Every structure is written in C-alpha cells, then in structure tokens.
Amino acid sequence: MANQYKLNCDGLVCPLPVAKTKRKLSEMDQGDILEVKGDFPEAGENIKRFVENQGHRVIKFNIDGNNFYLKIEKQ
C-alpha cells in the first residue's frame, strides 16, 4: 500500500515550493502519493511542470483564486 504525504507551501514563493517538492519526492518510494498545497498559483504551475518533466504522474491539479493543490504519484 502506498504511503501518503502532505506538503504545505503556504507563504512560500518560487523557487522554494519547487525545491521543497523535489526534496520530498526524493525521500519517497515509487507509488507513494504527495499532496502539495500553497497560496502562490505560479508556484503550483511550476511544480506541475517540474513533476511532469521528472516523469511523475499528476493525479490532480487545481487553482482556486490564490490557492493551488496538486496530488502527485511518484514514478
């Protein structure tokens, strides 16, 4: 069974949310799920691009006003 992790990036602007996501993914096993939320929409877009470029799967991506939410499966 996959582990699930959460990462809160509220109050952080790029490149910190991407760096924190990269670090957390490096600590996880294949198939694990990471939920990332924050309040800087551009960071959400950057994280999504980074994750896809690294070959991970974006299960869900949502921007609502100034908040973003990503659900990622590590590949």
* Distance (Å, whole) CA 2 – CA 17: 23
Q: What is the pLDDT of residue 1?
A: 82
Q: What is the pLDDT of residue 6?
A: 98
| Residue 25: CB atoms within 10 Å | 20
Query: Can you give the pTM of this predicted structure?
Result: 0.95
Q: What is the pLDDT of residue 15?
A: 94
Domains of the chain: 4-73 (3.30.110.40)
Q: What is the pLDDT of residue 7?
A: 98
Handedness of CA 10, 65, 5, 16 (dihedral sign): negative
Active-site annotation holds for 9: no
Q: What is the pLDDT of residue 35?
A: 98
Question: From the candidates 14, 16, 33, 63, which is the catalytic residue?
Answer: 14
Low-confidence ranges of the chain (pLDDT < 50): none
Closest CA relative to residue 46, chosen from 67, 18, 75, 9: 18
